[in-house]
Amino acid sequence: MAVANERTTVEIKRDLHDRLERLKPYESMSYHDLIDKMADEFEENRRDPNERSP
């Protein structure tokens, strides 16, 4: 039997989805477009500062 404070994978996925939905800059932006934009920004921030585009 699972401990009461353990969350299932489905609960974690649903909570993450809801959290990301609240971060959308505008309502019409899709969930997948938001993730794509966040990934682009993350990759840009990981690059060497000398390689970043202006």
C-alpha–C-alpha distance, residues 15 and 54, integer Å: 36
Taken as a whole, the chain contains a residue count of 54
C-alpha–C-alpha distance, residues 8 and 25, integer Å: 29
The tens digit of pLDDT for each residue in 5-47 reads 788 999 999 999 999 999 999 999 998 999 999 999 999 999 8
C-alpha–C-alpha distance, residues 20 and 29, integer Å: 11
pTM value is 0.61
Q: What letter would DSSP give residue 4?
A: T
